[in-house]
Structure 1
């Protein structure tokens, strides 16, 4: 059995309530809610894979509005004791997800301005979201393989939340098509 995970119900609108071979989990937005909900789910049941679907802002202008596999996640909203951005005091700077793809920067705020993007982009990420680092770290603690698929919903600048609201349903359909193709359900 696999666990289908999304931060928000809106990201799953194109998915049937019952997807054969998958349990379903909506965690809520942000790293804390993602960590709590996924930890509870993995503690309560055995899964052979966690499959995360969701939206992300593209901070790399060359990325098209498509679905991307995530290779690794970093945190853009932490600093270590020396003030180095992207480095946590006690967590690894990068969580590898075991796939070829793009790097995503996770933080607990919705990125929607050029100044924030200019701080995050040098960290090596091409996408931003609010949960992937947490999902990856929790899955690693439980020894469960994880795949994260992200659909580009916005460009993470200038009123991106309006773009996200307008595109989240289309992104859900893109993600559903990818799951259908990749997993045959």
Structure 2
């Protein structure tokens, strides 16, 4: 396998079908836990990884979305970047990811499971998760390229509460993507 590629997932369930022999980091849920775990690993093993691949599930913000996505852009939806910038503290809340499929992933610490919030986020993004933007930020700080791969597990509404029932099928799709693509373009 790829000893110089780190596969990062929030939960063991989402990483259940990662190919044997892969380097895997389970971070825990949310931006703080994921950023802390990844930063700790990259600092401890400086220079070891030439790419991070974040895998996991996501809620679809549009009812016609389903399947596997490799986002081209990640945004942090629960950060008041415009307000902070107006106060003289500019912060990044959006990152472009080369080689993606054109989709936009919104990251925030809120588990989105209601239609009103989904519709609000749908004006800015296609998918929603709880870790990717934090992981992309950390990779940028360490100068490590990152690929994000998400499988739709729900529609960011009442169906989100059925996540435990959907996660294994999503994990199989993610493991299949890793196997079929040899982790995507690793250049």
Question: TM class, shorter-chain normalised?
Answer: 0.7 to 0.9
Residue 8 and residue 157 in structure 1: after superposition, are their counterparts in 2 closer, same or farther (change >3 A)? same
Find the residue that maps to 1:52 and give its secondary structure: strand
Q: 1:113, 1:157 within 8 Å by CA — same for their partners in 2?
A: yes
Aligned counterparts, 1:3-152, within 5 A: 3-16=6-19, 18-19=20-21, 22-45=22-45, 46-64=48-66, 66-80=67-81, 82=83, 90-101=90-101, 102-123=103-124, 125-152=125-152
Q: 2:81, 2:93 within 8 Å by CA — same for their partners in 1?
A: no
| Cα deviation code 1:36-73 (max 9, x no counterpart) | 01101111112011011100000022212x11101111
Whole-angstrom distance in 2 between the partners of 1:31 and 1:82:
20
Aligned to 2:174: 175
| Cα deviation code 1:140-184 (max 9, x no counterpart) | 11111111110100000124122x111100000010111110007
What TM-score comes out, normalization by structure 2 length? 0.87
Runs of 4+ in 1 over 2 A off after TM superposition: 80-84
Q: State the Cα RMSD in Å.
A: 1.8
Find the residue that maps to 1:144 and give its secondary structure: coil
Alignment size in residue pairs: 174
Find the residue that maps to 1:12 and give its secondary structure: coil
Unpaired segments ≥5 residues, structure 2: none
The alpha carbon displacement at 1:92 in A equals 0.9
Residue 121 and residue 15 in structure 1: after superposition, are their counterparts in 2 closer, same or farther (change >3 A)? same
What TM-score comes out, normalization by structure 1 length? 0.88
Unpaired segments ≥5 residues, structure 1: none
